[in-house]
Amino acid sequence: MTGIPIINVNNNCSTGSTALFMARQLIQGGVAECVLALGFEKMEKGGFGTKWNSDLL
């Protein structure tokens, strides 16, 4: 609607680093002069052992 490109990525623990990589690529390629990179992680409550068998970790 505004002509501003928005890219949504969801790749588990590396969403923030992917956002930074893509922002850098856009600037280096001359596609954009200014970018906003945002990443976050949504995790379930508790440790890994509460969801998976701790013997497998």
52 falls within a domain: no
Report if residue 29 sits inside a domain. yes
In a domain, 34, yes or no: yes
pLDDT tens digits for 2-52? Answer: 888 888 887 877 888 898 999 999 999 998 899 999 887 777 777 666 666
Position 53 in a domain: no
Report the number of distinct structural domains present in the chain.
1
Its domain, for residue 39, covers 7-43
Q: Does some domain include residue 56? A: no
pTM, rounded to two decimals = 0.64
For residue 6, what pLDDT is reported?
Answer: 86
Q: Which residues contact 33 (CB under 8 A, 6 or more apart)?
A: 27
